[in-house]
Amino acid sequence: MTTTQPTRRDGEATRQRLLRAALELYTTVGFRATTTPAIAARAGVAEGTIYRHFSGKEHLLNEVYRGAQHWGTAVVQETGGEAGVPGRLLQIARRLIETAARDAAQTRMLLRRRDEQHLDERSREAEREFRNALQGVVAAGRSGGVVRQGPAELWTDVWLALVAFIAERVGAREWPPEAPPVSMALDAAWDAIAAR
């Protein structure tokens, strides 16, 4: 038996539970409707405990948001290898969609476009990193002539809008992650930005 650290009352677990509770609430009802009583109840702690780990509701939102953006950035960075740009985008989309099937909240948090007024500078920076990582892939496609002419930023956003749409459906359990509409919509996403 490898005991898990001499335990020291472990406030880290509480922190994680709070982050998870907030993530789930934010992505289902939005920031305003996510109340501190609800977060605490879902995390199974007292309301005051939130403030031992975060300076406030907004701080908690930002931590959660940042986590999702970092994860998204990692997803982009981990793909690649021998695949060409279309294949790499497909890998990324598949990873996001698979995750959405298991954990709708995380993907939703990554792709959502809401409550931006409550995000701080570091969060926006994390978002930019994710976008830039993805845009790097698209720009490579543009250079290679497989992506349409025009700003890579535009095609990144177009492609992402469609992937977000698919992930939302999968996250909502309307589509299984391997169902035909997913593949069809992924084809459409590529065709939207592919050079003709």
- The residues that touch DNA, with contacts defined as CB under 7 A, are 6-11, 13-15, 34-38, 45-53, 55-58
9 binds, among a second copy, DNA, none (CB under 5 to 8 A by kind): DNA
- Residues in contact with a second copy by the rule CB under 8 A: 29-30, 32-33, 114-115, 117, 148, 150-151, 154-155, 157-158, 161-162, 164-165, 180-181, 184-185, 188-189, 191-194, 196
35 binds, among a second copy, DNA, none (CB under 5 to 8 A by kind): DNA
Q: Are 46 and 33 in contact (CB under 8 A)?
A: no
Q: At closest approach, how far in Å is the CB of 118 from DNA?
A: 10
* DSSP designation for 118: G
132 binds, among DNA, a second copy, none (CB under 5 to 8 A by kind): none
191 binds, among a second copy, DNA, none (CB under 5 to 8 A by kind): a second copy
**SS3 at position 46:** coil
Tokens representing 24 are 């789930």
* DSSP designation for 194: B
* DSSP designation for 148: P
**How far is 31 from 115, CA to CA, in rounded Å?**
7
**How far is 130 from 29, CA to CA, in rounded Å?**
24
